[in-house]
């Protein structure tokens, strides 16, 4: 797993207003931010021995040092780094740095770096630039890292349509069923997805194969909003399938198993009332890291009735696998 650091500097001159510099794709187009962000936390402590030769330690705090590396291929990047370098050298400018996108700033100074070198061994490829930043005050504790949770469903708001009966991101079960873009019933503007089963016992749903695999052992939250009463045939269902292992998330999300099980399959609904179906579940740690998953949303599945439902705001949130990054909560 990698970690995501969002680097910002705040420069406050002795006489003047503060200025914030975000080291991102806008300010550093050559490398879309620092190529290297390497913070280390070293203990500042003292160890002594008592008369019995027993060692006793005292921890004063943690010293944070951050190595930053850049690629310089344009004058814009050079100008940004030169401004930052000059502020760090200037004794009358207060320089603060944040690694968490501006949530926490700490006063810093520079202890080295500043000298450009050849990028990839060639000056013609650009310049490699590095600097070492040290936080002036000791930190009381080490940073806390939490998983960066991301959305797995594309267009859960049902806003992208090819035409009035075909969603862009979702696959539809088609005839004899009816899918309609509705601007009357929705949770989030401008549309909801109205689904009407064409005949009793016919499969009716919109489905989407998730663009990325779920993380084995990861915890996820699945949420879907339904409204069915206005269409006269209430009821809704949700199904999540592991396509690779041919298993399904069972009712309530407590386990996975074989058979065409549903997370929920309820013959319920009240006219004009939206219902939010939410479950949390865990992907078994024994599942493969390349397993694929299929999410289905539709009307109540029953062989004897012809239900209909409006779905909107479909969401599946949890840790992403291959491009997963840790969110720096404190630093």
317 exposure class (CB count in 10 Å sphere: 0-12, 13-18, 19+): middle
Inter-CA distances, 13 with 91, 93, 302, Å? 9, 4, 71
Decide if pLDDT at 137 tops 90: yes
Over residues 234-246, mean pLDDT: 88
Q: Which runs of E-coded beta strand occur in 254-303?
A: 256-257, 264-266, 275-282, 293-298
Question: Using one digit for the tens of pLDDT, what is the confidence trace for 26-54?
Answer: 888 877 778 888 899 999 999 888 888 89
Q: What is the pLDDT of residue 33?
A: 77
Smallest CA-to-CA distance from 127 within 68, 72, 198 is with 72
Q: Which two tokens stand for residue 52?
A: 């019995």
Question: Using one digit for the tens of pLDDT, what is the confidence trace for 7-24?
Answer: 999 999 988 899 999 888
Smallest CA-to-CA distance from 225 within 278, 261, 294 is with 278
Q: What is the rounded distance in angstroms from the CA atom of residue 116 to the CA atom of residue 130?
A: 7
Q: What residues contact residue 234 under an 8 Å CB cut-off, 6+ apart? A: 228, 267, 268, 269, 270, 300, 307, 309
What homologous superfamily does CATH list for 150-319? Galactose-binding domain-like (2.60.120.260)
Domain ranges within the chain, ordered by starting residue: 2-143, 150-319
Of 73 and 87, the structure prediction assigns the larger pLDDT to 87
φ, ψ (nearest 5 deg) of residue 253:
80, 15
Over residues 116-141, mean pLDDT: 78
Q: Which two tokens stand for residue 324?
A: 């997963």
Decide if pLDDT at 329 tops 50: no
Question: Using one digit for the tens of pLDDT, what is the confidence trace for 183-234?
Answer: 998 888 899 999 988 877 777 899 999 988 898 888 999 999 998 755 556 6
Q: What is the rounded distance in angstroms from the CA atom of residue 286 to the CA atom of residue 279?
A: 21
Question: Using one digit for the tens of pLDDT, what is the confidence trace for 166-176?
Answer: 999 999 987 78
Range with the largest mean pLDDT of 26-35, 120-129, 240-249, 256-265: 240-249
Decide if pLDDT at 327 tops 50: no
Q: Which two tokens stand for residue 155?
A: 């267009």
Average pLDDT along the chain: 84
Q: What is the pLDDT of residue 52?
A: 86
Q: What is the rounded distance in angstroms from the CA atom of residue 16 to the CA atom of residue 75?
A: 26
Determine which helix (DSSP H) or strand (DSSP E) holds 87, and give its type and residue range: helix 75-89
The architecture of the domain spanning 2-143 is Beta Barrel (2.40)
Q: What is the pLDDT of residue 77?
A: 85
């Amino acid at each position: 797993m990698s970690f995501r650091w969002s680097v910002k500097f705040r420069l406050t001159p002795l006489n003047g207003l503060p200025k914030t510099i975000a080291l991102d794709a806008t300010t550093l187009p050559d490398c879309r931010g620092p190529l290297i962000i390497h913070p280390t936390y070293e203990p500042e402590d003292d160890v002594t021995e008592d008369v019995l030769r027993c060692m006793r330690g005292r921890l004063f705090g943690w010293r944070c040092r951050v190595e930053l590396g850049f690629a310089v291929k344009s004058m814009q990047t050079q100008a940004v780094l030169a401004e930052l370098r000059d502020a760090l050298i200037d004794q009358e400018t207060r320089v603060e740095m944040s690694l968490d996108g501006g949530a926490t700033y700490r006063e810093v100074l520079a202890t080295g770096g500043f000298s450009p070198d050849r990028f990839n061994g060639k000056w013609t490829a650009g310049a490699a630039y590095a600097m070492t930043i040290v936080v002036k005050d000791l930190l009381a504790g080490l940073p806390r890292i939490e998983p960066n949770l991301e959305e797995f469903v594309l267009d859960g708001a049902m806003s992208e349509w090819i035409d009035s009966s075909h969603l862009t991101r979702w696959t539809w079960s088609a005839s004899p069923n009816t899918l309609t873009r509705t601007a009357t019933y929705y949770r989030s503007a401008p549309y909801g997805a109205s689904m009407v089963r064409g005949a009793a016992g016919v499969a009716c749903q919109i489905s989407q194969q998730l663009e990325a695999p779920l993380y084995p052992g990861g915890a996820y939250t699945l949420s879907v909003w339904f409204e069915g009463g206005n269409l006269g045939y209430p009821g809704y269902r949700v199904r999540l399938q592991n396509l690779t292992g041919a298993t399904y998330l069972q009712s309530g999300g407590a386990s996975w198993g074989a058979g065409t099980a549903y997370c929920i399959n309820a013959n319920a609904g009240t006219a004009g009332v939206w219902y939010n179906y939410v479950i949390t579940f865990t992907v078994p740690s024994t599942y493969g890291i390349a397993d694929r998953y299929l999410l289905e949303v539709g009307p109540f599945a029953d062989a004897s009735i012809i239900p209909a439902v409006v779905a909107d705001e479909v969401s599946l949130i949890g840790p992403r696998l291959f491009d997963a990054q840790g969110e720096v909560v404190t630093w």
